[in-house]
A and B are shown apart, each in its own frame.
Chain A
Amino acid sequence: MSIFNPFINFFRVLRQVVKGNKWYYAWVGLLSFFILLGLVAYFKQLQYGLIETAMRDQVSWGLYIANFTFLVGVAAAAVYLVVPAYIYNFKPIKEVVLFGELLAATAIVMCIMFIMVDLGRPERVWHILPVVGKMHFPASLLAWDVIVLNGYLAINLFIPFYALYKLAHGREYNMQIIKPLIIISIPWAISIHTVTAFLYNGLPSRPFWNAAVLAPRFIASALCSGPALMLIIFQIVRKIYKLDIDNKAIFKIAELIAYAMGVNLFLFAAEFFKEFYSNSIHLAPMKYLFFGLNGHYNLVPWMWASLLFNITAFVLFLLPKTREHFFSLNLACVLVIAGVYIEKGMGLVIPGFVPGTLGEIYEYTPTMVEKYITIGIWAAGALIYTVFLKFMIPIYKGELRFKSSQSKQVG
């Protein structure tokens, strides 16, 4: 009998994922629609090439890499839950840390998708792997990124799946196994964002990226956007699944975001001062971002909006009164996500290319194909996370149990 158990358990999970109320179907249907839209756009791009995008030799990375960069930040932020949960044993957060780890895993999967759609020859992606391909390690930072992102994905899939597997069999998970992984996951989370920052940072041809403050700023802004996204998800989950998530956990995370945003704003100010006060030729990209360059203003309103969002959110998160009020808290979360999405997305990638290395200014505005593919990947990410939660929460609440030959003896 027991050899059939994995199949029986698989169907239990499958049934749990497939069955739902009309809201669930509507949500999944909506996401599927956007995914389909993205797929259609992607097939067009596959067929005609990246000429379907607005990227050109002058601005050779665009919306895809911008989203990739932002999502690495979201993934790195899971560590913000892991530290208080496991190291300081802060109970309210410990109960929700699994959601954070799964969000990190989902974000990494989305990162990989954004890289895949950006490749000119996606079918050759195996060339980047060691052994079967010809990975340029340690010279290329992109090779480092492949290692740290996939490693982080493995860690953040293993921990929650292992814990849930044990829970589903009615057993406590073994801290001896999880603890070392958690310890590793903390520097690892920092590393994924550091390596991604270094990827830009190490190019002296692009003065905007070639600033030592880049990696610290990446980390600071990541510790804002990721947790902010999680706060919103926690509230939704709490409402839909009637799950106990302590307000204390939410307010604690909000407080931590305030500190991270403080650091982020300070580092931004440091960069801003250095560029504008020294007023060298390397000022051009910064000028393009905030004041426009030679009549090109594409990003100016976005950058000021981003700055305004970040400062407002900082104040809202910092004051206990607004932090512990759900309207202002959620407003601050949305502002932080939007602010960092602009700043660490297009606001980071595009000024690396404007002005170009030969002084040319090419104004990049994403095409519909790029937008559809981007929406499709976001929808795919949302769908993955939805499916995770759909079978994870019943297991977590003890409503879904696996058939197991040992569980009777132990439990």
Chain B
Amino acid sequence: MSTATRPAGKLVTPLPDLPGDRPRAVSLTVRTLGPLLLIGAWWTASATGLLTPDILAGPPDVVRAVGELWGSGELPDALAASLTRSGTGLLLGLVAGVVLGVVTGFSRSGDELFDSSLQAMRTIPFLALVPLFMVWFGITETAKILLIAFATTFPMYVSTAGGVRGTDRKLLEAMRSFGMGRLALVREVVLPGALPSLLSGLRLSMTLSVIALVAAEEINATAGIGYLMSQAQAYARTDVLAVCILVYALLGLTADGIVRLLERFLMPWRGQGALR
């Protein structure tokens, strides 16, 4: 064939360009490059005087502020208060979202009963509920935690319901024919199958929990990162404000890392076997 028209040259080994055979160190470096570039740009801007401290403090000032806040114990306290709030709220929201999602996704009567009201509630901006929650619960932890729970329920609900509805119906039929009960079906087939959707719901809910946290803490908080921010705002401390923003950003990054880890550990059957 081609050897007839071309002189017989030396043979080569075919080298497939497969995804995923990049060394971990390289991929980690590339991943950290983006944030590092951002920090570099910020540093350059404030060092050249483009960014004055009254607009936003430069990185050295921020590092100093971190040291100061950490030394006085303000930052650890605020962090602990905020993480407890968003963690508790997120947990409540996730449980509610998964339970409602499984019920509406898996049973027709559940879908008919709950879905339209949940879809209606989903479009309510949770910020609009802040005054109402204040009236109902006062300036308490409950109000803040419930606000976060409310905000995080719906992304989880929508993702879970979608994932559960997408379960392979042939697989369900087969499992039923072997005598598997409804609870076991949900636990052993539906939820593992819906895990990718659950994890994307978790990603969205984690982000929202931080956003709802800011909203809850900006109003009448006496502890937490949001409180630290409103204090800094009152005294025009842009370095402290930058610290708080960085803390939120780090929370987002950590949340993403957690989901990535979960993806690896919760779904060991994925990524195994050939593409087909």
Real binding pair: no
